[in-house]
Homo-oligomer: A and B are copies of this chain.
Amino acid sequence: MRLIESVPNFSEGKRSEVIEEIVNEARKIDGVWILDYSSDPNHNRSVVTLTGIPEAIEEALFNMTKKARDLIDLKNHSGEHPRMGATDVIPLVPVMNTTKDECIELSKRLGRRIGDELSIPVYLYEDSATSPERVSLSNIRKGEFENFPSKIIQEAWKPDFGPSSVHPSAGVVAVGCREYLIAFNVNLGTDNIEIANKIAKAVRHISGGFRYVKALGFRLEDRRIVQVSMNMTNYRKTPLFRVYEVIKFEAERYGVPIVGSEIVGLTPLQALVDVAEHYLKLEKFDSSSILEKRVLDFISREGE
């Protein structure tokens, strides 16, 4: 079975009936599974986690974007989270038997349809970006909905698809392929936030650490310990075990032990297989040797 994951963000976090109508568009499509969705009223934003076969995911995302365009008016929207569109961003992630290239193709097909058929300007971002300044989502979103009319007329910010003017109520949308993001937190046996901050600095990309790690130190007040909280933006190239081991030996320097860790949300099977493979020094292990994976492959082949 070929699977793409998508985590579209919608600029509505209060009116649950609107969220339901948008999510329903995905429910209607065979071959799409809604893994999770949640709304934040303060952010006035909802995040939906979908997975499915590529063609079905494309259909579901197009229909959800159309529904969001019809039901959300950014002129009346306020919330803590920055936003530029009714459907604000559509990340696409190749998760099973799909490649980055296929995923980029999908982002372009979907972007073209949203631009042409829904009259919403589309920016390709991350791995789909058509120029270096469009790689970062926050760079595209800078100025937000309110300031986009003056941004979009600049040559550098001509949309990749769709009209050259902001949709009056639905704004603009970013669509792009990226790697799976794993939220991985490591807990330290100390209440000294300085140590968590120093270790976060040691492992994160921006200050000289691993390329695909974003990290911050946090206090867990109730447990009186501190945490190195991370976004692992490419677990294939910067694997969990390697970062874990570096945190361990950095912490040892302060006489502090690792007391636990957590993965928040979903993780691809391969990220955990990589951990087991490393510590057991497994030779030539293939995830198709995992019973459940084998069954999934069988079942999904029947469905094709």
Q: Complex: how many Å from CA A188 to CA B11?
A: 57
Q: Is the CB of B262 within 8 A of A290?
A: no
Q: Complex: how many Å from CA A269 to CA B296?
A: 12
User: Among residues 226 to 282 in chain A, which have CB atoms less than 8 Å away from a CB atom of chain B?
Assistant: 240-241, 244, 258-263, 265-269, 272-273, 275-276, 279-282
Mark A90-123 against chain B: 1 for CB-CB distance below 8 A, else 0. 0000011000000000000000000000000000
Q: Is the CB of A290 within 8 A of B268?
A: yes
Q: Is the CB of B282 within 8 A of A261?
A: yes
Identify the closest chain B residue to A303 (Cβ).
B299
Q: Is the CB of A262 within 8 A of B285?
A: yes
Of A260, A282, A295, most B-chain CB atoms within 10 Å: A295
User: Among residues 16 to 70 in chain A, which have CB atoms less than 8 Å away from a CB atom of chain B?
Assistant: 33, 35, 51
Q: Complex: how many Å from CA A95 to CA B292?
A: 9
- Report B-chain residues with C-beta under 8 Å of the C-beta of A266: 289-291, 294
* Known contacts A279-B279, A280-B240: A292-B269 contact under CB 8 Å: yes
Chain B CB within 8 A of A198 CB:
no
Q: Complex: how many Å from CA A283 to CA B259?
A: 9
Copies in the complex: 2
Q: Is the CB of B267 within 8 A of A51?
A: no
Number of interface residues of A (CB under 8 A): 46
* Known contacts A261-B282, A279-B275: A267-B240 contact under CB 8 Å: no
Q: Is the CB of A269 within 8 A of B241?
A: no
Chain B CB within 8 A of A5 CB:
yes
Chain B CB within 8 A of A300 CB:
yes
**Which residues of A are in contact with B by a Cβ distance under 8 Å?**
1, 3, 5, 33, 35, 51, 95-96, 187, 240-241, 244, 258-263, 265-269, 272-273, 275-276, 279-285, 289-296, 298-300, 303
- Report B-chain residues with C-beta under 8 Å of the C-beta of A300: 299
Q: Complex: how many Å from CA A259 to CA B298?
A: 34
- Report B-chain residues with C-beta under 8 Å of the C-beta of A267: 289-291
* Known contacts A272-B272, A275-B275: A292-B283 contact under CB 8 Å: no
Q: Is the CB of A282 within 8 A of B296?
A: no
- Report B-chain residues with C-beta under 8 Å of the C-beta of A35: 291, 294-295, 298
Identify the closest chain B residue to A279 (Cβ).
B279
Q: Complex: how many Å from CA A3 to CA B260?
A: 32
* Known contacts A281-B260, A282-B263: A293-B275 contact under CB 8 Å: no
Q: Is the CB of A96 within 8 A of B5?
A: no
Q: Complex: how many Å from CA A282 to CA B244?
A: 11
Given contacts A95-B291, A262-B282, 8 further A-B pairs with CB under 8 A are A258-B281, A261-B280, A266-B289, A266-B294, A267-B291, A268-B290, A272-B272, A276-B276
